[in-house]
Chains A and B, each alone.
Chain A
C-alpha cells in the first residue's frame, strides 16, 4: 500500500514533467522499487535502466512548490533604479501596507524576493537582488515588523517579470516582490 502510493506520486511527477516539454515518457518503465533514499524531500529519483553505461546518471524531478498565500490588497512589488538598491518615495505605500498586514497577522510570514534586470552575470545579479531585498527588509523592520516574519532572498535575473531588453522591460524586472 505504501509502495503503491509512492508509485502514484512518481507517476504524477512524471506526467507533470511530460506536460512541460521534456520527454521522460519515451522509454518504458522497467522496474519500480523504493530502495534509494535521499534526504531531500519532495523530489523523485528516476533511476537508470539496465542498458546503462559507465556514465549513467540517475535523474531527479523536483516537486512543484506550494502555492503562495494571499497578502494585503494594494500591491506587493517595489521597483528600483538601475544599479540601485535605494528605496524610492513611491515604494513607501507598498511597504507600509505590507508592514501593517504583517503586524496585524503575526502568524503570517513573507519572503522578500529581490530581482534584477537581465544584464550581467547570474551570480553577481543574485547578490544585487539580495541587496534590494535587504533594503525592503530593513524598511519593514524599522516600521515595526518582527524580523522573524520576513526573510530577504534573491532570484537575481532568473525570474524576469517582463521580457525584452528595452528600458521599460528592464525597469519592470528591477524589483522586490513581497510573497506570502
Chain B
C-alpha cells in the first residue's frame, strides 16, 4: 500500500477567484510604447478572451501603454487605416481572429502592424486545443514584445507559488499572469521554498507533511515525487544548479544550518560551508560558478558569495543588519533581496557591477523575490492591507501589478524558466 499509489484522472485545474491576476499598474514608465489591441473576431464565443490576455501581459511588462481599440471592427485580414490609428496616437496595432475548427480546436491568427511606418511586423498563426488558448495568447504576447522591444518575452512562462486556506497548503503552478493555476501539491502541513528546475519540468520544495522539513523533487507532468533530502534535523532552501544535476540546500544534520550539494540522483551530500553560524538561502550565479547565500557569521544576517569550488566567502551586503533572500538575475547584472529597514522588510535591487542599491517597493513585509527569465521583471511576496499578495515589478520599481489573493494567503513565488 505504501509504495503503490492510485491515480484518478481528474482535471485539477483551478480558476477560483483567489488566483486571479488583477493588473493594477502603478507608476508610469518614461518610454512606454502606445499600443492598440482590437478585440479578436470570434473570441466572444471562445473560452478565452485572447486579446484581453495579451493586452494585460503587455501592460504588466511596463513597456506599453494601452490605446483604446475596443470600438474598432477588424481582424488580421483587414487593411488598417493607419492615418486613423496615428490620430489616436497608437504606434502599434494588433488585430486577429479565433475560429473553432470541426475537431474542437481553435485556429488563432493575428497580426501586429507598425502604425508609424505602416508596416506589417508580426504574422501569427497557431492551432491549439481549448486548454491551450491562454498559452497561445501568451505566446503571441511574447512575439509582439520581442518584436517591439528586442527582448525575449516571458508571458508564456510559469510561476509557482503557495496558498494557505484554513488548514490547507497548496502548491500551484500558474501562467505568468497568475491565471490558469493548477495544483501540484495539496497538504495539511506547510509547503515552502518552491524552486524550478532549469528545464521547467520539476519543482523542488520543502514540505512538512512528515512533521519536519523534507526536500522533495516533483515532476509536474506526472506528479511523480522523490525525496531529495530527508536527513536528521531540518532540510530546507533547495535551489537547482544551472545544469539541473544537483541541488544546493540547507541541512542541519551536522548540528547547525549549513549548505550542502546533493546529487539529484542520490548519494552522499557534499558539505559546502564550514561555519558555526547559520548559512542558508543558497542561490547560484547564472554561470554556476558562484553561490550566493545568507549567513549570520558576522553577527547579523548578510549576503555572501563564494566560488562553488575553492575560495572563501566574500561579503556582498554591508548596509543594515538584516539582508536576506538573494536572487541573481539571469543576465547576471542584478541581485534582488530583502532588507530590514526601520523594522520594515523592503525589496532591494543591487546593480552588481557598481554595488549601488535601491529600495523598489512601497510595502513593508516583502519576501522572496524571483526574477523573470528575461531579467526584466521580478515577482515577490508581500502584504497589502493586511493580506498576503504577490506582486510583479519592473527592476526600477516603477510598474507594479498584483496577483490578488481574495480567499486565503498567497506566498513563496518562484518564476519558472523559458520554455523550450
Contacts and interface: CB of A to CB of B under 8 A. Distances in A.
A161 B307 CA distance: 40
A60 B185 CA distance: 5
A39 B226 contact: yes
A49 B209 contact: no
Contacts of A5: 1
A120 B252 contact: no
B405 interface: no
A119 B7 CA distance: 40
Interface residues on A, range: 35 or more
Interface in B308-342: 322, 324-325, 338, 340
B131 A52 contact: yes
Contacts of A10: 6, 8
B8 A29 contact: yes
Contacts of A51: 11, 129-131
Contact of B232 (A30, A47, A50, A151): A151
Contact of A36 (B173, B213, B223, B408): B223
Contact of A49 (B5, B9, B165, B345): B9
Interface in B207-237: 207-213, 216, 218, 220-227, 232-234, 236-237
Contacts of A158: 190, 192, 208
A33 to B, nearest CB: 5
A5 B226 CA distance: 24
Given A20-B168, A32-B8, A62 B211 contact: no
Given A6-B6, A127-B280, A54 B132 contact: yes
Given A6-B6, A36-B224, A59-B185, A131 B367 contact: no
Given A50-B9, A59-B183, A134-B256, A111 B192 contact: no
B176 to A, nearest CB: 11
A70 interface: no
Given A111-B211, A127-B250, A29 B10 contact: yes
Given A44-B5, A52-B131, A130 B223 contact: no
Contact of A155 (B10, B158, B208): B208
A8 to B, nearest CB: 9
Interface in A21-59: 21-24, 27, 29-59
Contacts of A61: 185-187
A42 B255 CA distance: 29
B10 A30 contact: yes
Contact of B6 (A7, A59, A128): A7
A65 interface: yes
Nearest to A154: B234
A92 interface: no
B30 interface: no
A34 B4 CA distance: 7
B278 A62 contact: no
A152 B252 contact: yes
A126 B214 CA distance: 12
A122 B94 CA distance: 43
Nearest to A33: B7
Interface in B1-29: 1-12, 14, 16
Interface in A65-107: 65
Given A43-B5, A131-B278, A56 B223 contact: no
Contact of A62 (B166, B187, B233, B322): B187
Nearest to B182: A57
Interface string B394-420: 000000000000011001100000000
A114 B218 CA distance: 27
B193 interface: yes
Contacts of B281: 121, 123-124
B282 to A, nearest CB: 10
B207 A57 contact: no
B184 interface: yes
24 contacts: A22-B170, A32-B7, A34-B5, A35-B7, A38-B223, A38-B225, A44-B6, A49-B10, A51-B11, A51-B129, A53-B131, A54-B132, A55-B182, A58-B221, A61-B185, A62-B185, A65-B188, A121-B368, A122-B193, A122-B412, A123-B324, A124-B325, A126-B213, A127-B278
Interface of B: 1-12, 14, 16, 128-132, 135, 158, 165-168, 170, 173, 175, 180, 182-190, 192-193, 207-213, 216, 218, 220-227, 232-234, 236-237, 250, 252, 255-257, 278, 280-281, 294, 301, 322, 324-325, 338, 340, 345, 367-368, 407-408, 411-412
Given A47-B10, A126-B213, A179-B211, 17 more contacts: A10-B6, A20-B166, A32-B7, A32-B8, A32-B9, A36-B222, A42-B2, A46-B12, A51-B131, A52-B131, A54-B132, A55-B175, A56-B221, A65-B188, A111-B211, A127-B280, A131-B278
Interface of A: 3, 5-7, 9-10, 14, 17, 20-24, 27, 29-65, 111, 113, 119-124, 126-128, 130-131, 134, 151-156, 158-159, 179
Q: List the 3 closest A-B pairs by CB distance, nearest first.
A: A53-B131, A58-B223, A6-B6
